[in-house]
Amino acid sequence: MRFYTLYLQDRTTLKRLLSVTLGIVLVVVVGAVVPSSANNKIQLLKPVRLPTAVGAGETVKVIPAKWTKSAVRTYKWYVGGKLVKSSNTLNFNTLASHQGKYLRVREFAKFRGGVEMSSRSFAVKVGEIQILNEPSLMFSDADMKSATLTLPDFMPGNVKVDISWLKNDLPIQGEDKATYTFRPQDSGSLLRASLRLQRDGYDSREITTEGIEVPTSFEAETQLLWADEFNATVGASPQMSNWVPQNGDGSAYGIPGWGNGESQWYLWEQAQHDGSGNLVIRATRTGASQYDCYYAGNCQWISSKLVTLSKLHVKYGRISIRLKSAQGTGTWPAFWTLGTNIGQVGWPKCGEIDVVELAGKTPFTVWGTPHGPISGGPGNGGSTQLLLAAHQEFHTYTVDWYPDRIVWYVDSKPFYTFRKSENEADWVFDDWQYLILNLAMGGGFGGSIDPNLSDAQLSVDWVRVYKVNGVGAISTP
């Protein structure tokens, strides 16, 4: 640190200098201390507030701000951002014209010593019912046979609540209680509750709960519409009144290998009754070489494919089959449907429902798949596992086809649901479909065929079509 000494010869100059310096010091001291002793010791602890909910035509009482010192208070009210003249008291009367506009208040506090400070509230929309928590749905009991709605808390109180129930987002007529008991036709549906809130001076408001899925049950009201029980004598061919063949390797239809790279040539004669109540489709290498397949001249396999096109068409309902699968790596049994409009719109726009697909290479797995214009070849399906291989015993494979969903079952147990509401662009299942039963060999799904495999057979006990819960129809052109 360095010190400098100022020598002044003129005492007058020294006095002037001291006077100016003292003035500067006084100005600095006064500017720093006075605000500290006034404003800085007054603190806002809580801002001025309005009630959570305000209705039109109500008297609103402000909740004053909390300061560290007492004060004289006045208020200014704003509606829609505009100052309401001649309104400077603690209470404010809202008008019908204020509904839908935002209300705000500003408090002006005058303290001793002439200090003034202010606080501004958050805005509240006039006529808006406030929902303090979300409504919810839950199963009413362990049996999951009904659902109960838990109402949310509201501001203000005394709100009228009208309840309605939605199944797959469509209203259920006549249901307006807080508990809804499931009906057979609700099986597998997505259930929601819708609430309409009303009170005078407030805008009505509607809210909808999250969905709850009704447990899928095979139990339903059914009416048999059509069946083939396969009770003909041994060696008899399928009934021509129900089925027609699609012979060949697919080339005649413009899809060699049936569009999947399959190895078989289909023949009507390869499907025969066994005299014990079953239709047996037999795939074999024997005799295949006399047919000319797309891939190598002589065919490697012959089998059979039956369809109900022009004989039986189905629209919605339950489609079910009981069968024992073929054994052997490379086998590909399937029971499925195609849209009868395939000749006009093509595949996959016509829609395809694979009631069941099985593959010898994975004998414990069952697949159920819909194919539409978006999902195409891969489809959009599900699978499940069997305890015993599909070729070891008979199983029942079923779909329940509704206007809003398709549900897949094995032995009455659901394993997959395809919903229209979740797949609008891929849903092309509101038109007639025909049934298809076949045993393919190889192809993209069946995979490589065991070179040591020479024969395989698919046994079908019956095929049935039902109306389910009042839904479903057949046509016999």
Q: Which of 221, 229, 357, 422 is catalytic?
A: 357
Please check whether residue 446 is in contact with residue 361, taking contact to mean a CB–CB distance below 8 angstroms.
yes
DSSP letters for 323-335: EEPPPSTTEEEEE
Among 317, 327, 402, smallest CA distance to 361 is for 327
132 CB-side CA count, 13 A: 10
**Residue 357 falls in the annotated catalytic set:** yes
Q: Where are the alpha helices (DSSP H) in 245-330?
A: none
> What is d(CA 159, CA 162) in angstroms, rounded to the nearest whole number?
10
The DSSP output letter for 231 is: -
Which residue is it, tokens 């490379």? 330
Which residue is it, tokens 């009170």? 199
Where does residue 96 rank: exposed (0-12), middle (13-18), buried (19+ CB within 10 A)?
exposed
> What is d(CA 201, CA 215) in angstroms, rounded to the nearest whole number?
42
- As a whole number of Å, the end-to-end CA separation of the chain is 114
Q: Distance from CA of residue 308 to its chain's centroid?
A: 34
State whether residue 29 is helix, strand or coil: helix
Please check whether residue 435 is in contact with residue 391, taking contact to mean a CB–CB distance below 8 angstroms.
no
> What is d(CA 159, CA 157) in angstroms, rounded to the nearest whole number?
6
> What is d(CA 191, CA 172) in angstroms, rounded to the nearest whole number?
10
> What is d(CA 458, CA 397) in angstroms, rounded to the nearest whole number?
14
**Residue 352 falls in the annotated catalytic set:** yes
Give CA angle at 76 (75, 81), nearest 5°: 150
HEC assignment per residue over 415-448? EEEEECCCCHHHCCCCCCEEEEEEEEEEHHHHCC
| Residue type at 126 in one-letter notation | V
Peptide bond into 403 cis (omega under 30): no
> What is d(CA 327, CA 25) in angstroms, rounded to the nearest whole number?
106
Q: Which of 262, 352, 393, 422 is catalytic?
A: 352
Where does residue 301 rank: exposed (0-12), middle (13-18), buried (19+ CB within 10 A)?
buried
Active-site residue set: 352, 357
